[in-house]
């Protein structure tokens, strides 16, 4: 499956089917720091992703000055 990562934007190929939890582990990503989106839908960690799924892994951590948040 094609997995789109952000910041910086890049694509990786991962063999499916695979659960969201296993995908994040394979990519060494903390579940706390990302959302997983398939099409336009959010998916939970137990969902099994099909080999043809188009997956976006979107980071949620923003940093910067303490004057204001994102």
Contact footprint for other proteins (CB under 8 A): 6-7, 30-35, 37, 41-46, 58-70
Per DSSP bridges, beta strands 48-49 and 54-59 are unpaired
State which residue, 11 or 62, has the beta carbon closest to other proteins: 62
State which residue, 16 or 19, has the beta carbon closest to other proteins: 19
Q: Report, in Å, the least distance between residue 35 CB and other proteins.
A: 6
The backbone torsions φ and ψ at residue 39, rounded to the nearest 5 degrees and listed phi first, read: 65, -120
How far, in Å, are 3, 15, 58, 70 from residue 43 at the CA level?
A: 14, 18, 12, 23
State which residue, 13 or 69, has the beta carbon closest to other proteins: 69
């Amino acid at each position: 499956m094609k997995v789109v990562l952000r910041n910086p934007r890049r694509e990786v190929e991962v063999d499916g089917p695979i659960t969201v939890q296993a995908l994040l582990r394979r990519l060494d990503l903390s579940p706390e720091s990302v959302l997983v989106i398939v099409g336009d839908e959010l998916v939970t960690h137990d969902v099994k992703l099909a080999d043809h799924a188009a997956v976006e892994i979107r980071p949620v951590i923003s940093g910067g000055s303490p004057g204001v948040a994102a």
